Structure 1
Amino acid sequence: MKRLTFAAVALVLLSPAAVHGQRGGSYDYFAPQREMLQRGVQAILQCNGLFTGDRTLEQVFDQELAYLRDPVGTAEGGDYVVDRERKAVAIGAPGAIPVMRAAFRDGIGCVIMSPDQTFDDIDELPIQTAPPLAGDPSGMAWPDGDIVADVGLPAGVDPVALRAASDWTFERESEAQVTLSFIVVQDGQILHERYAPGVNAFTKTRTWSTAKSIASTLIGMLVDEGRLDLDAPLPFDWLPENAGSPETDPRRHITLRHALNMSSGLYPVDSWGMEYATGSGFSYWAGASSVEGARNRSLMREPGTFWDYENYDTLLGVYAMKLAIGDPQAYLEFPRERLLDKLGMRNTFLSTDRFGDFILSSQVYTTARDLARFGMLYAQNGMWKDERLLSEEWIEFVRTPAPATSERGNAYGGQWWLVPDDRTDVPSDAYSTAGNRGQYVVVVPSHDLVIVRRGLDFPPQGFNQWDMTREVLKAFDPVATNR
């Protein structure tokens, strides 16, 4: 057997693979946290499915919880409690892994509780007491209400091709892609609307990361007013209490643009296989503070130089919004007053953590129609009923590729996704929200189109909003609609 020289042995021992093997090991040290967070995921999804979305327990287990590898119990029962009087759920039996609880709160949706809280603590959770928007939407025309006039398709729209696009969206080859709803809007009119069995225009489901685009919209309103500055450093108040001197902390150079471009340079806690183990998972699913988690990260790279999709970058922007508004009650009322009520988004709940901070990186429950209204605001360049709600400059920002994505196809802007450079089969001016399990609002300015697709996909996922856009555009005459 040939003997290795000392140098060769050193190369083997010091190679990256060898070092990684020595230090990495095979044991999952985060397994207990993952199991606790999985119970928290089930608590939030099960609670919201039942009490925010008005779904049946069978529907919740069949679709909402299909996302989980090993949910606790079945629709017939198991180690969980559903308290319908208090609109709360508890997941798991007492033991080494904590029981995780979530409770519905008016105007907010379900709030996850910390492992040491019980149903006796529900009254301490945040609540939204603002009265509902005036008027009866059942007697009002779209988009203010729910009456959609059957005016037929406009010239230049092929009904056969439009139906084919709808079938393409619903009749997926993969059973992992479950389309719940599909809406096509042009010039503010609903041209096509379709729902899966058991779903209707009032079914509220989780937006997941489509919420990030809602967050960006609210933040943009404050930038338009001069209360936030896109290119100024984030307010010193965002730095954690252990930061020491703000004047010397390198994180003081992070701007709002960096945060919204997912390029803060802060340590990644949701990436590299650590989702549902550390990071934002604790605020999403375990009752930790979303604000403190976002703040307590060290600087790893120069801000603006590296793109890394992090929920906490969004929540830094949301925290900057809270600091700019100042008053806690005004902060809670701001989304409804400035956006939801203006657009008639009556069925949209922006949830908070148990400390009253909006989790606008994911935790929003809404309907397909409300998301269509949201998309229309962008299709109309920020105008709504002759009132400017959002500047054209802000819309240009969200549609501009983040500089750090230049080597990734320029596919991300300001909390909106952009058409990748290598896609030539859809208009380059299109842009889209995107949320886990297939939540999309696609805006195509060159065709005055808004396309909404809601899903409850589960692994393996893979529904592609640009493929859907391509199929929908086959129904539209480019000469008649490209203006």
Structure 2
Amino acid sequence: MKRLTSAAIALALLTPAALHGQRGDSYDYFAPQRDMIQRGVQAILQCNGLFTSDRSIEQVFDQELVYLQNPVGTAEGGDYIVDWERKAVAIGAPGAIPVMRAAFREGIGCVIMAPDQTFDDIDDLPILNTPPLGGDPAAMAWPDGDLVESRPLPSGVDPVALQAASDWTFDRESPEQVTLSFIVVQDGRILHERYAPGVNMFTKTRTWSTAKSIASTLIGMLVDEGKLGLDDPLPFDWLPDNAGSRATDPRRHITLRHVLNMASGLYPVDSWGMEYATGSGFSYWAGVSSVEGARNRSLMREPGTFWDYENYDTLLGVYAMKQVIGDPQAYLEFPRARLLDKIGMRNTYLSTDRFGDFIMSSQIYTTARDLARFGMLYAQNGMWRDERLISEDWIEFVRTPAPATSESGNFYGGQFWLPPDDRTDVPADAYSTAGNRGQYVVVVPSHDLVIVRRGLDYGRQGFSQWDMTREVLKAFDPVATNNR
């Protein structure tokens, strides 16, 4: 008979709960990475706040950086450097945590640098030197320009109720919800526009995940051209270099539809409190390649069967876009040529990582008016003037619930959000972009309506775009709307 050691006896006496307790970690092994990433978050937000948004250092600390709770330094100074000539920032003092740097690049916005890079490496970062869209927007009528004629509201629109919806949006009970701008557009006409003090129609702020809807639109243009297929596997070269036998790798069955529905089945690197420790946090805030991070994930589930919100799923779709475009310069110019310049989004920067890959899961800086133009493209069923930019089929795809959400409310489509099944107070045909800190573009086709809300929320946040839509719709006579 085999004799048990005292250690084995002790282990055998442990209860399952005790064994589970042994497996739990009381130490945050990712703390050094979180600290580095937090400095990187500040570098990007501070750099863009100063040089993309043209905000003062006081505004940046009061609103942009309050999201961090404990940023490095204050508006008066601290362990950070602002290089005004080179339009760059460095966050932190040298030590155990790396100094993190970001630099503004023309046509792109601020790019995060690797921990081992310095300001001497700025000239190696991507840049987009393309001529600006022609014409003087101040002298051009909306939506091509910024000239808005003052006219009475249409019949069927209650001005008191519309103002009440605006007040509801700005006068939040939660001090953590900070509305910067609010626009209501019907039938292409701005009916209401409001900005917080220190913000105006030219203030660019980060879209966060509203960028995903812009990415989906650009990808859809390539699908419309037949260069990508929704139900075709992602371009073969997306598999990582360590994939082994690509012919038998189960990841080869992942389609564009899967990644745009947030149902790739790939390992969820941004879930369960790890977004600012691993995964896309490295490409967003620490200078790692966004492409390599998206590619190097194992398959956990059958594609299409489980919804899991992952930044890297979006970036796999963006990488597919890059592959079919082919030329790196044409890829950088594609968003402006095919979308932004077409609809007058002249105040929008699509940022890249330091390798020149768009981080279109989050890193776009734009104005409320440019997002209103974007919403109008969808409200106009993909048409701009007399040109079709996106197909009706693509619009139908983005507003169709992802199959993996069927048992949890049908709340997500193709990089757009949908009213959950239990929301009966907003039209079922509504759909919305959504980004962290309260970035929303809501399209309500049945009312020919676009609603834009930009925020700098922080902490628990919780602003609901569907509640906002409900409040706005109180101002519109459904009979008058349906008879337009």
Same fold (TM > 0.5): yes
The answer to whether structure 1 residue 60 and structure 2 residue 56 are counterparts is no
- 1:31-430 pair list within 5 angstroms: 31-430=31-430
Q: Distance in 2 between matches of 1:164 and 1:118?
A: 50
The one-letter code sitting in structure 2 at the alignment partner of 1:120 is D
- 1:20 Cα deviation (Å)? 3.8
Q: Distance in 1 between matches of 2:93 and 2:270?
A: 28
- Corresponding residue SS for 2:323: helix
Q: Distance in 1 between matches of 2:14 and 2:108?
A: 56
- 1:176 Cα deviation (Å)? 0.2
The one-letter code sitting in structure 2 at the alignment partner of 1:461 is Q
The one-letter code sitting in structure 1 at the alignment partner of 2:452 is V
1:470 matched residue in structure 2:
470
The alpha-carbon distance between structure 1 residues 446 and 10, as it changes in their structure 2 partners (threshold 3 A), is farther
Q: Distance in 1 between matches of 2:18 and 2:315?
A: 38
Q: Distance in 2 between matches of 1:424 and 1:390?
A: 29
Q: Distance in 2 between matches of 1:247 and 1:19?
A: 41
Per-residue CA distance 1:287-329 (angstroms, 9 max, x = gap): 0000000000000000000000000000000000001111111
What is the root-mean-square deviation of aligned Cα atoms in Å?
Answer: 1.0
- Corresponding residue SS for 1:332: helix
Runs of 4 or more consecutive aligned structure 1 residues displaced over 4 Å after TM superposition? 9-12
The one-letter code sitting in structure 2 at the alignment partner of 1:94 is P
Per-residue CA distance 1:96-153 (angstroms, 9 max, x = gap): 0000000000000000000000000000000001110011101100000000111221
Q: Distance in 1 between matches of 2:147 and 2:376?
A: 17
1:13 matched residue in structure 2:
15
The one-letter code sitting in structure 2 at the alignment partner of 1:356 is G
The one-letter code sitting in structure 2 at the alignment partner of 1:373 is R
- Corresponding residue SS for 1:282: helix
Q: Distance in 2 between matches of 1:386 and 1:180?
A: 33
2:6 matched residue in structure 1:
none
- 1:441 Cα deviation (Å)? 0.1
- Corresponding residue SS for 1:98: coil
Per-residue CA distance 1:346-382 (angstroms, 9 max, x = gap): 0000000000000000000000000000000000000
The answer to whether structure 1 residue 28 and structure 2 residue 28 are counterparts is yes
- 1:246 Cα deviation (Å)? 1.3
Q: Distance in 2 between matches of 1:53 and 1:304?
A: 38
The alpha-carbon distance between structure 1 residues 20 and 393, as it changes in their structure 2 partners (threshold 3 A), is farther
The one-letter code sitting in structure 2 at the alignment partner of 1:189 is R
Per-residue CA distance 1:188-228 (angstroms, 9 max, x = gap): 00000000000000000000000000000000000000000
Instruction: Give the number of equivalent residue pairs.
Output: 473
- 1:13 Cα deviation (Å)? 2.9
1:4 matched residue in structure 2:
none
- 1:69 Cα deviation (Å)? 2.1
Per-residue CA distance 1:30-56 (angstroms, 9 max, x = gap): 000000000000000000000000000
Q: Distance in 2 between matches of 1:318 and 1:59?
A: 33
Q: Distance in 2 between matches of 1:105 and 1:216?
A: 24
- 1:11 Cα deviation (Å)? 10
Per-residue CA distance 1:362-406 (angstroms, 9 max, x = gap): 000000000000000000000000100000000000000000011
- Corresponding residue SS for 1:342: coil
The alpha-carbon distance between structure 1 residues 19 and 439, as it changes in their structure 2 partners (threshold 3 A), is farther
The alpha-carbon distance between structure 1 residues 429 and 74, as it changes in their structure 2 partners (threshold 3 A), is same
1:6 matched residue in structure 2:
none
- 1:236 Cα deviation (Å)? 1.0
Q: Distance in 1 between matches of 2:133 and 2:377?
A: 19
TM-score (norm 2): 0.97
- 1:19 Cα deviation (Å)? 4.3
The answer to whether structure 1 residue 441 and structure 2 residue 426 are counterparts is no
Q: Distance in 1 between matches of 2:420 and 2:130?
A: 41
Q: Distance in 2 between matches of 1:453 and 1:482?
A: 25
Q: Distance in 2 between matches of 1:21 and 1:469?
A: 46
Q: Distance in 1 between matches of 2:85 and 2:174?
A: 38
Q: Distance in 2 between matches of 1:149 and 1:10?
A: 80
Q: Distance in 1 between matches of 2:68 and 2:478?
A: 42
- Corresponding residue SS for 1:222: helix
- Corresponding residue SS for 1:96: coil
- 1:460 Cα deviation (Å)? 1.6
